Amino acid sequence: MDNKIWSQRADELLQKLTLEEKIGMIHGAQLFQTAGVERLGIPPLKMSDGPMGVRQEFLPSSWKPVGCSDDYVTYLPCNSAIASTWNRNIAYDIGSVLGEEARGRGKDVILAPGVNIKRSPLCGRNFEYFSEDPYLTGELAAAYIQGVQLWDVAACVKHFAVNNQETERLWVDVEIDEEALREIYFPAFYDAVKKGGAYTVMGAYNKVYGEHSCQSEFLLNQVLRKEWGFDGVIISDWGGVHDTKEAANGQLDIEMSVTDDFDDYFMARPLLEKIKSGEISENTVNQKVKRILLLMLRLHMLSKEQRKSGAYNTPEHRRRVLEAARESV
Instruction: State the pairing for strand pair 173-174/233-235.
Output: unpaired
Q: How many CB atoms lie within 10 A of CB 298?
A: 20
DSSP structure string for 52-120: TSPPPPB-TTSS-B---SS-----PPPHHHHHHHT-HHHHHHHHHHHHHHHHHTT-SEE---B-PPP--
Residue in 237, 253, 260, 264 annotated catalytic:
237
What is d(CA 56, CA 54) in angstroms, rounded to the nearest whole number? Answer: 7
What is d(CA 84, CA 87) in angstroms, rounded to the nearest whole number? Answer: 8
> Of how many residues is the chain composed?
329
What is d(CA 89, CA 67) in angstroms, rounded to the nearest whole number? Answer: 34
Nearest to 313 by CA among 146, 51, 148, 76: 76
What is d(CA 25, CA 262) in angstroms, rounded to the nearest whole number? Answer: 12
Q: Check the CA dihedral 77-78-79-80 and report its sign.
A: negative
What is d(CA 172, CA 184) in angstroms, rounded to the nearest whole number? Answer: 19
DSSP structure string for 178-237: HHHIIIIISHHHHHHHHTS--SEEEE-SSEETTEEGGG-IIIIIIIIIIIT---SEEE--
The answer to whether 203 and 159 have CB atoms below 8 angstroms apart is: yes
Phi, psi values for residue 215, rounded to 5° = -125, 10
Q: Does an H or E element contain 299, and which?
A: none
The reply to whether 237 belongs to the active site is yes
Terminal CA-CA length for the chain: 42
Residues known to be catalytic: 237
